[in-house]
Chains A and B, each alone.
Chain A
Amino acid sequence: MIELQHLTKRFATKAGTLVALQDISLTIQDGDIFGIIGMSGAGKSTLVRCINMLEKPDEGSVIVNGRKMETLDARGLREARREIAMIFQQFNLLMQRNCLKNVCFPMELAGVPKDKAEARARELLELVGLPDKAESYPAQLSGGQKQRVAIARALATDPKVLLCDEATSALDPNTTHAILQLIQNINKELGITVVIITHQMSVVEQVCQNVAILDAGKVVEQGSVAEIFSNPKTPAARRLVFPAGAPQGELPAGHRLVRVAFNGTQTTDKPLVASLAIECGALVSIVAADTRIVNGQTLGSMLLALPDNADEAEKAIAYIRTYPGLTYEEVQA
């Protein structure tokens, strides 16, 4: 379990003190895939770097598997870090070592005998799908392949936690998908707790169970992915969940607008807009829609323009209110 308690981190800059993290409290359960999402500069990297003390928090506590990280001495910290592996956006492989030696590297640091380390490294390269690249150098690999080697390297010391800082941000969508799938498999098969830092909602959607939304150094929302996605409450969360958002400037004037958010429990064989038309005779038009299927459930939101007729509009609202699996709110044009 990873517990962050009242974490605060400040940076001294020329312009004054910059509060990168402010009173962050989070709990990440064992075996979870936990997403931390936020806009650029929100403090995501700083947060994840506090977990393994690459960044020392100014206040608060980081407890990983019962170890209070900020109280450890240099030696204790090195030992704790062997259980907390990390992968990076820029892969950070050793360019002068071949893949096998890269995967051996953390074992070398820990004093594992060479032949044992190499045997294990070959197993891990097999696990990440690159058994034939053992003798290749990182410069000879594609980005996706480099990240696979980095994942194999991260797994070499049998960590309990895998921290991923924008691990797929340098990759194309297909490769991103494949790497996330690999991370998901590792989580399932090895039971490793995964923390994924990203600014892409699609990444959280694909693999995360729980998510925290970071905005300007604060956690503004946290909960299960389905919960947050279906009903983002804060402006920061809405910006992330509905990047397209409601096109405020172009809203058709003179209509009542309703935003409906699906929370993933409705039956998909009963489409809302069609039902509105058939069952209560209200013809609504879709102004904006951003829905997606996550873990087999429909999530997201739609912006609907209600009929001009006031009675029909009221009827539509009454219908929407009783419709299962969604929340709604009226939006001012």
Chain B
Amino acid sequence: MEFLFASDEWQVLLDNLPNLPFATWESFYATAISTILAMVVGLPLGVLLVAGEKDGVLPLPGWLMTLLNAVINLLRSVPFLILMIAVLPLSMVVLGTSIGTPASIIPLFIASFPFVSRLVETSLREVDGGVIEAAQSMGATPLQIIIKVMIPESLPSLIANATIAMTTILGYSAMAGIIGGGGLGQIAINYGYYRYKYLIMVVATVLLVIMVQIFQSIGTWLAVRCDKRLRK
């Protein structure tokens, strides 16, 4: 804990204080946009994983399901650090740069949509098969069952899982600081790891922890609030 008493530690912190709000904002928006993109792609994929099964509401060819599962598993098993480096060329092509917060969104998205697909899959599987059967007995189309039964009935669980996704992506976004992804992660790595200035690293980390707490609280509150299964 000696670092608390070193004057240069405090000097670095003071110098960087004005940067912290912007870095926090960068972390937030990289996370938010990545989460949204991951949901946009992960939700339909998660739906396909459940509905496309042999006895699902919209059975898909077996080979397609096998392929889908294999690709998702493959992407999920690549460590984020390696994935991040592997997609650097892609960021160059798409955005013309491989550093900065926008560039970090690409690996964040690629790393998180397979994860989100699995979370969505888990949520949708919680929907009671009897309810789906009831909808079928009323003459619902597969699309109607997905949109009017499966998704609304699992909404609280979907929100809870989106929250898990968002906090996880926030963690990844901090790692993206290594390749110049900006945000609190980059401050923590630049000073703490490369220059042994621990105080600012601790402050940046505390800010990340506070963000996780806020996301989690809002997510939990929303999930509970929209769940009509709870007697009130």
Judged by a CB distance under 8 angstroms, whether A263 is at the interface is no
Stretch of A101-109, A215-223, A299-307 with 4 or more beta carbons under 8 angstroms from chain B: A101-109
Judged by a CB distance under 8 angstroms, whether B149 is at the interface is yes
Judged by a CB distance under 8 angstroms, whether B56 is at the interface is no
A92 and B133 form a contact (CB under 8 A):
yes
Kindly list chain A residues whose C-beta atoms are within 8 Å of the C-beta of B156: 96
How close is B26's CB to chain A, nearest CB, in angstroms?
36
Interface size on B, residues (CB 8 A): 25
Kindly list chain A residues whose C-beta atoms are within 8 Å of the C-beta of B153: 94-96
Given contacts A78-B141, A105-B138, A140-B231, contact A94 B131 (CB under 8 A): yes
Contact with B along A98-138 (1 / 0, CB 8 A): 10000001101110000000000000000000000000011
Given contacts A139-B228, A140-B231, contact A94 B149 (CB under 8 A): yes
Kindly list chain B residues whose C-beta atoms are within 8 Å of the C-beta of A93: 131
Residue pairs across A and B with CB atoms within 8 Å: the count is 75
Kindly list chain A residues whose C-beta atoms are within 8 Å of the C-beta of B144: 109
Contact with A along B118-151 (1 / 0, CB 8 A): 0000000000101101111111110010001100
B229 and A78 form a contact (CB under 8 A):
no
CA distance A137 to B133 in the complex (A): 20
Judged by a CB distance under 8 angstroms, whether B44 is at the interface is no
One of B130, B140, B229 near A92 (C-beta < 8 A): B130
Interface size on A, residues (CB 8 A): 30
Given contacts A92-B130, A95-B229, A96-B229, contact A109 B140 (CB under 8 A): yes
One of A86, A95, A108 near B137 (C-beta < 8 A): A86
Contact with A along B156-179 (1 / 0, CB 8 A): 100000000000000000000000
CA distance A140 to B149 in the complex (A): 20
A92 and B155 form a contact (CB under 8 A):
no
- Closest B residue by C-beta to A157: B138
- Closest A residue by C-beta to B137: A86
- Closest B residue by C-beta to A86: B137
Judged by a CB distance under 8 angstroms, whether B152 is at the interface is yes
Within 132-180 of A, Cβ neighbours of B (below 8 Å) are at 137-140, 157
CA distance A273 to B85 in the complex (A): 95
A95 and B228 form a contact (CB under 8 A):
yes
One of A77, A90, A96, A109 near B228 (C-beta < 8 A): A96
- Closest B residue by C-beta to A77: B139
Judged by a CB distance under 8 angstroms, whether B230 is at the interface is yes
**Which of B133, B135, B138, B231: most chain A Cβ within 10 A?**
B138
Judged by a CB distance under 8 angstroms, whether A88 is at the interface is yes
Given contacts A95-B153, A139-B230, contact A82 B139 (CB under 8 A): yes
One of A79, A94, A97 near B139 (C-beta < 8 A): A79
One of B137, B152, B227 near A94 (C-beta < 8 A): B152
Judged by a CB distance under 8 angstroms, whether A81 is at the interface is yes
Given contacts A108-B148, A140-B231, contact A88 B130 (CB under 8 A): yes
Query: 7 nearest interchain CB pairs?
Result: A78-B139, A92-B134, A81-B139, A92-B130, A137-B228, A106-B138, A86-B137
> Which residues of B line the A interface, CB within 8 A?
128, 130-131, 133-141, 144, 148-149, 152-153, 155-156, 226-231
